[in-house]
Amino acid sequence: MIKLFRSTVIDAPIADVWKILRDFNGHHKWHPAISHSYIEDEKSADQIGAIRNFTLANGGAVRERLLSLSDEDYSFRYEIVESDLPISNYRAKVQLKPITDNNQTFWIWSSSFETSPEQETEITQSISKEIYEAGFQSIRDKLSKDHRSFNAVSTHQIPNESILKAKEMVISHFGGPEVFFEKDIEIPPPRSGQVRIRQLAIGVNYIDIYCRNGSFDFIDVPAVLGFEAAGEVDMVGDGVTQFYPGQRVAYACPPPGAYASARNMNASSLVLLPEQVSIELAAGALLKGMTTEILLHRVHRLQPGQTILVYAPAGGVGHLLCQWATHIGATVIGCTSSREKIEIAKKAGCHHVIVPGATGIVSQIHELTDGRGVDVILDGVGKDSFHHSIKSLGKGGHLICYGQASGRINNWDLNQAKPKSITISSPYFYDYIDSPESLKAVSDNLFQAINQGVINVELKHKYPLVDVAKAHRLLEGRQSTGSIILSSDKVVES
């Protein structure tokens, strides 16, 4: 199964972008690849199950079915029912997120499909460039002129006393930690449905490195990184009733932009911190903790007695995975990169810890499991560990690839999974918290685990926001244990 993921930023409010994209039968009005489209059986364009039948500009024909549509989440899913294209099992999702600092929209377009190995590269590039990227540009061209004028007028109308001065760390271009530079900014009052936050602590995660070096298409440079922060509510916009100034809140979600001392965010993306969770703890625990909860309770419902292999058990997510898996009753095997981290892994609950060396990972796993292999593998390493993981699984085992610290996994023959009937998952974290209800369920379970002592989040590395490059070097060099957080400078009202 091929997974394709593209994203961009549209310089227009989310309501304006959604108004165009929401029309399931309106893509021929803006997308250059579509010539003509109609909805079959006289159904409405927003009716679940509706099929749009359209002709491509090159003469091809496609029929697509609407699977879901949410005005609350600004998203819809669809699948190809019939097509002249040499692909099968195509399913896609369009998701919009507000970039509240600048009244822009973060647009994610993702899909999964199958095609022949010989055509994989050609088809993937074609869909990426001729459908996704061409669609991004068409919407951008359609809206940019109007919204440049709108934003210019709006900026002049904001009273000076409502502006909050802040600092942010920006990357000038894709590259190493040296690309960061400091920038003074002004945060306007929150718009309807938004909350302005004084960010006191900011989480640093490996996904930030993927964005910084260009591995993930989340940003267009120059840009501000970061998906996780905690602080205090400074001001709320119209319609926000669940939060008020002074409350402690946190978030762990797109769009990126957390490396700043203040920010506007959509209220539906925030969680209220319980008394036992400090702001620093939330910044170091929310993303990693919710990732852990999702991996062990939703991607795979870990059962007592199962044997699980966790890579990087001394790292941020790995450390929490080992603790929570041990509490569930699993036998936990940790695989660490150095002998110096063995004791850290054992303190996290690992029953066994292995280190790659003269005796390989697979041999050590088979020795520990009497040749059976493990039931579950949680692999955040990626390319360097993938083939070891496949060979270390037992019959019916489940490999969960949730990260790629060593690089993307290369093409792999799925038939190799058949002899042991294994399952391979590559979960997208934000799909599991894409509604206020799902976010609350996951975060509540995490906070309960913290309160009950199931997991202990170690905040061993703290840096000022301006020293974010040092934090990235530490994390990228695999020298960190536990969580890394940044403390922001105090923001000052103008």
pLDDT in tens, 307-357: 999 998 988 899 999 999 999 999 999 998 787 888 889 998 999 999 887
The neighbouring-strand residues paired with 262 are: 198
24 and 145 co-located in one domain: yes
Reported as a single tens digit per residue, the pLDDT across 425-454 is: 889 888 999 888 999 999 999 999 999 999
User: Domain limits at 280?
Assistant: 163-286+454-493
18 and 140 co-located in one domain: yes
Residue 277 lies in a domain: yes
259 and 225 co-located in one domain: yes
313 and 274 co-located in one domain: no
- Residue 309: closest CA among 280, 345, 278, 341: 345
Q: End of a domain among 127, 157, 187?
A: 157
Give the domain CATH number at 205.
Answer: 3.90.180.10
Q: End of a domain among 406, 426, 446?
A: 426
10 and 122 co-located in one domain: yes
- Residue 262: closest CA among 253, 275, 249, 281: 249
Least confident piece of the model among 116-120, 250-254, 407-411: 407-411
Report yes or no: 482 and 461 within 8 Å, Cβ to Cβ: yes
327 and 401 co-located in one domain: yes
386 and 487 co-located in one domain: no
Residue 431 lies in a domain: no
Residue 292 lies in a domain: no
- Residue 296: closest CA among 456, 427, 387: 427
98 and 234 co-located in one domain: no
Q: What is the pLDDT of residue 156?
A: 41
Q: When comparing pLDDT for 409 and 118, which is higher?
A: 118
Rounded to whole angstroms, the Cα distance separating 320 from 288 reads: 8
Residue 242 lies in a domain: yes
106 and 91 co-located in one domain: yes
Of 34-38, 124-128, 148-152, 306-310, where does the model show the most confidence?
A: 306-310
pLDDT band for position 407 (cuts 50, 70, 90): low
Q: When comparing pLDDT for 339 and 252, which is higher?
A: 252
Residue 170 lies in a domain: yes
How does strand 374-379 pair with strand 393-401?
Answer: parallel
Amino acid residing at 261:
S
403 and 460 co-located in one domain: no
Does the structure show a pLDDT above 70 at 147?
no
Beta strand residue intervals within 273-335, DSSP E: 307-311, 331-335
Number of domains making up the chain = 3
Residue 445 lies in a domain: no
Rounded to whole angstroms, the Cα distance separating 264 from 262 reads: 7
Looking at the chain, the whole-number percentage of residues with pLDDT higher than 90 is 56
CB atoms within 10 A of CB 407: 12
